[in-house]
A and B are shown apart, each in its own frame.
Chain A
Amino acid sequence: MDFGDTQEEAQFRAEARAWIAAEAPTYLIDSLTKSGFGGVKTGDFDPMVEAKLWQRKKADAGWACIQWPVEFGGRGASPMQSVIWNQEEGVYGKLSGSFIIGQGMCAPTLMAYASEANKARYLPKLASAEEVWCQLFSEPQSGSDLAGLRTRAERDGNDWVINGQKIWTSGAHHSDFGIVITRTDPEVPKHRGLTMFFLDMKSKGVVIKPIKQANGESGFNEVYFDDVRIPDSQRLGEVGGGWQVSLTTLMNERLAIGGGIATGFPEIKELVDGLALASGRAIENPAVRSKLADWYAKSAGLKNTSARAMTALSKGEMPGPENSIGKLVAGGMMQDIAKFALDLQGLGGVIVDPELAAHSARLQAMLLRSPAVRIEGGTDQILRNIIAERVLGLPEELRADKGMPFSKIPSGN
């Protein structure tokens, strides 16, 4: 075992560090450091403008999407170099939050299924964030049961005509393109009647409406399709092969390791270090100590699990579904931490005004944002199913709709 860099890794790290030191938007560091649990904060500056500036700068110097091939705007870097880059980019990496879905999930799908001409046309601009992409998967009637989606695509000559509604589309309002999964055949079992496309989000018939979330922010949207025309050349994969294509997209969610998932531990540690309770110093309270130990052990466990996954990556192995534990552990933990942190502050704990609340009200923001972490990108329950079935090999859930044509599946309304 060895936690140090190899000579090549150290050289790469030094190169990345020097470039970041010279080029990063240091004027944003304070607001970025306080960001999290909601939208990225850039103080007096527009977050999307700043994000695009930084991404463009990285792309021009060959530091954007560094694992991608050079011809698509990347650097052809190794997984380990990518991890090192993320470590060095540190707090500035938060700026790229709005591009993660496009670069982390849409791009691998394009690389696997788009034509060579389309890859050359779209990937470099995706890397530089000149064009932003979103992913149109979830629907009001199909969240965990994604394959039950109802948005229709019907063939009309060389075009497809799309009608329906998507929901929970992150960043649709500032996206230029999106990948959309549709139902092209309702008369076959649900997984077999799906087809994937990509489209221009400014196409006629696309209407985007922001969702006001439970925490008051709006990071997600509803997207309506009313006779939206897409040429067949924008199809990704076979007609009826959309489910396989979507698996490529979703599998890449799990590869987004190394950046370090937020757990709330540094925030609770910082709070209790300086806090006095009625009984004395918070850090000396046995209940506080017990919870702090449990949460530290969990967050260290995630960090160390991620380090093992990086080792596997660097040996050319693929990280498996065992990495599903990250969000499952972090989501619940964040919610527990926020609840406990408020509890330690008396009635004042309810205050969300950053001027009045402890630590700029980050823990209150965490309380209000954390329920979503346990739902988005796979609910806690779906993640437990994945672990049980794909890691432990337990038998599949009985499915009432198995083998049934989609049009015959009971929908409850």
Chain B
Amino acid sequence: MNFDFSQDDKMLRDQVARFLSDQCSSKTVRGVLEGNAAYATEVWDGLVSMGLTGTAIPENYGGVGAGYLSLCLVAEQLGAFLAPTPFSSSVYLATEALMLFGSDAQKDHWLPKLAAGETIGTLAVVETVAQTTAEDMALRFSAGQLTGKKLIVADGGISDFAIVLARNPAGDLGLYLCDLQAGGVVKTAVDTVDPSRNSTSLEFNGCPAELLGTEADGWAQLETVYDRAAVLFAFEQLGGAQSALNMAVDYAKQRFAFGRPIGSFQGLKHMMADMYVALKLAESNCYYAAWALSTNSPDLPLAAATARVSATQAFQLCARDNIQVHGGMGFTWEFDCHLYYRRSNYLTLQLGGLTEWEDKLVSSLASGDAAA
């Protein structure tokens, strides 16, 4: 047994961490948060020039072909530095959907552009302020065109194309690839709890689109993409949780009250110990899910849901209690605590919230091996 990442993977992680440490300070995150840019273009360009957008794309499509264990550690660092880029939408969702379900022609056309970072893609699903169900999908695909509205699309304002869940005249759901630059799409920015990531509503008024995968399999395909992306999102959450915990610990060592460092009070110590415990459990579950993703294990749906549930818990706890450790200063705009708090709650709701992933976890348990 060898339950650890390889030296090559770790070197890549360190390289990404160094780059982000130089180029993606909280000032960069705040630039997007405060509305100066839709995303951090120089960070994106740097990630692209390191070949990271093509980490899991095979070499024959212009990628690096380094695989998913590498990509997981890249995601962890993007989460740790709160990178305000469309990496998750383009790489974990759009690229994955194309690699899984694209025709040869679609892969030939899009994957090299995605690998080279010259094209940004996203996935458009949510139509209502409610948990998403197949029954609620109203957006139509008919005669080669999409008509209807997606309420909130991650990075929708930045993306060049979107993979859109839509219903055909027979009433079946499918995934449809739509070039957002072709016209006919109305993009409206949506304010969210985390303005450091772009969120946009997309209204399609008869926009040309083409089928991705099989016509009646849209929902099942979406779930397959979500299971894989959940692992990568969980690594982003893990990175964010670690950074929030580090921030809390550093502050608790420096800040004095009642004549001693506040980190020497058990009330705060025990809070941070619990943050660490949540983080460690999430980390180990994420590692296992990384293995399941990289080997296409039949255990992937359960492993992904497990990683996602515990990483969501860990990031939410660490971001929340990082504010508590900072006291009043933690509630100022000036301190970075709210950046983690915002991102933790934003990432929780991507791909469906904690309740939905808990439910998926139990469904996978019921159908598979329950030995834990």
Write the residues of chain A forming the contact surface with B, with a CB cutoff of 8 angstroms. Answer: 1-5, 9, 80, 263, 265-266, 269, 273, 283, 286, 289-290, 292-294, 296-305, 307-308, 310-312, 314, 322, 325, 328-329, 381, 383-385, 387-389, 391-398
- Bound form: Cα–Cα A2–B288 in Å: 10
Interface of B, secondary structure class, is helix
Q: A266-B372, A283-B362 are in contact. Are A301 and B281 (CB under 8 A)?
A: yes
Q: Does B358 count as interface, using CB distance less than 8 angstroms?
A: yes
Contact residues of B between 221 and 276, Cβ < 8 Å to A: 245, 249, 252-253, 260-261, 263-264, 266, 269-270, 272-274, 276
- Bound form: Cα–Cα A310–B371 in Å: 19
**Which chain B positions have C-beta within 8 A of A328?**
277
Please list the 9 inter-chain residue pairs (A to B) with the smallest Cβ-Cβ separation, ordered nearest first: A301-B281, A293-B358, A304-B284, A388-B269, A384-B273, A387-B273, A394-B263, A395-B264, A299-B372
Contact A296 B365 (CB under 8 A): yes
- Bound form: Cα–Cα A289–B1 in Å: 32
Q: Which of the 9-residue segments B58-66, B166-174, B306-314 touches chain A?
A: B306-314
* Chain A residue with the shortest CB-CB distance to B246: A392
* Chain A residue with the shortest CB-CB distance to B312: A297
Q: Which of the 9-residue segments B2-10, B83-91, B181-189, B201-209 touches chain A?
A: B2-10
Q: A388-B272, A391-B276 are in contact. Are A307 and B3 (CB under 8 A)?
A: yes
| Complex A-B: 15 CB contacts under 8 Å | A273-B366, A289-B358, A293-B358, A293-B362, A296-B306, A298-B281, A301-B280, A302-B284, A310-B1, A311-B3, A325-B276, A329-B281, A383-B273, A385-B266, A389-B269
Contact A397 B281 (CB under 8 A): no
Determine how close the nearest CB of chain B comes to the CB of A276; give it in whole angstroms: 16
- Bound form: Cα–Cα A256–B63 in Å: 45
Q: What does the 1/0 interface line of B264-300 toward A look like (CB < 8 Å)? A: 1010011011101100111011011011001000000
Determine how close the nearest CB of chain B comes to the CB of A299; give it in whole angstroms: 4
Q: Does B361 count as interface, using CB distance less than 8 angstroms?
A: yes
- Bound form: Cα–Cα A3–B1 in Å: 4
Q: Does B355 count as interface, using CB distance less than 8 angstroms?
A: yes
Contact A381 B266 (CB under 8 A): yes
Q: Give 16 A-B pairs besides A296-B372, A301-B285 with Cβ atoms closer than 8 angstroms.
A: A1-B5, A2-B1, A263-B372, A289-B358, A293-B359, A300-B306, A300-B372, A305-B284, A310-B3, A312-B4, A329-B277, A384-B273, A388-B263, A392-B276, A394-B249, A394-B269
Return the contact of B3 from the options A1, A265, A294 (Cβ within 8 A): A1
Q: A304-B284, A384-B270 are in contact. Are A398 and B260 (CB under 8 A)?
A: yes
- Bound form: Cα–Cα A383–B365 in Å: 31
**Which chain A positions have C-beta within 8 A of B5?**
1
- Bound form: Cα–Cα A304–B281 in Å: 8
Determine how close the nearest CB of chain B comes to the CB of A252; give it in whole angstroms: 21
Q: Does B370 count as interface, using CB distance less than 8 angstroms?
A: yes
Interface of A, secondary structure class, is helix
Q: Does B69 count as interface, using CB distance less than 8 angstroms?
A: yes
**Which chain B positions have C-beta within 8 A of A391?**
276
- Bound form: Cα–Cα A398–B264 in Å: 7
* Chain A residue with the shortest CB-CB distance to B69: A1
* Chain A residue with the shortest CB-CB distance to B358: A293
Contact A396 B264 (CB under 8 A): yes
**Which chain A positions have C-beta within 8 A of B269?**
384-385, 388-389, 394, 397
Contact B261 A304 (CB under 8 A): no
**Which chain A positions have C-beta within 8 A of B370?**
266, 269, 296
- Bound form: Cα–Cα A176–B281 in Å: 40
Determine how close the nearest CB of chain A comes to the CB of B363; give it in whole angstroms: 9
Contact A5 B313 (CB under 8 A): no
Contact B276 A304 (CB under 8 A): no
Report the tally of A-B residue pairs with Cβ distances under 8 A. Answer: 164
- Bound form: Cα–Cα A308–B284 in Å: 8
- Bound form: Cα–Cα A386–B284 in Å: 20
Contact A296 B281 (CB under 8 A): no
Contact A308 B4 (CB under 8 A): yes
**Which chain B positions have C-beta within 8 A of A80?**
1
Contact A297 B274 (CB under 8 A): no
- Bound form: Cα–Cα A314–B1 in Å: 9
Q: A266-B370, A388-B270, A394-B272 are in contact. Are A322 and B355 (CB under 8 A)?
A: no
- Bound form: Cα–Cα A265–B371 in Å: 9
Q: A307-B1, A329-B281, A395-B260 are in contact. Are A294 and B287 (CB under 8 A)?
A: no
**Which chain B positions have C-beta within 8 A of A4?**
1
**Which chain A positions have C-beta within 8 A of B245?**
392
Q: A3-B1, A296-B365 are in contact. Are A397 and B372 (CB under 8 A)?
A: no
**Which chain B positions have C-beta within 8 A of A297?**
281, 285, 306, 309-310, 313, 361
Q: What does the 1/0 interface line of B5-49 toward A look like (CB < 8 Å)? A: 100000000000000000000000000000000000000000000
Contact A304 B264 (CB under 8 A): no
Determine how close the nearest CB of chain B comes to the CB of A49; give it in whole angstroms: 31
Return the contact of B287 from the options A9, A265, A308, A387 (Cβ within 8 A): A308
**Which chain A positions have C-beta within 8 A of B4?**
1, 308, 311-312
Contact B284 A395 (CB under 8 A): no
- Bound form: Cα–Cα A286–B372 in Å: 21
Determine how close the nearest CB of chain A comes to the CB of B357; give it in whole angstroms: 8
**Which chain B positions have C-beta within 8 A of A301?**
280-282, 284-285, 306, 310
- Bound form: Cα–Cα A2–B1 in Å: 5
* Chain A residue with the shortest CB-CB distance to B285: A301
Determine how close the nearest CB of chain B comes to the CB of A283; give it in whole angstroms: 7
**Which chain B positions have C-beta within 8 A of A265?**
372
Determine how close the nearest CB of chain A comes to the CB of B288; give it in whole angstroms: 5
Contact A395 B273 (CB under 8 A): no
Determine how close the nearest CB of chain B comes to the CB of A86; give it in whole angstroms: 13
Q: A398-B260, A398-B264 are in contact. Are A298 and B310 (CB under 8 A)?
A: yes
Determine how close the nearest CB of chain B comes to the CB of A394; give it in whole angstroms: 4
* Chain B residue with the shortest CB-CB distance to A312: B4
**Which chain B positions have C-beta within 8 A of A293?**
305, 309, 357-359, 361-362
Determine how close the nearest CB of chain A comes to the CB of B367; give it in whole angstroms: 12
Determine how close the nearest CB of chain B comes to the CB of A5; give it in whole angstroms: 7
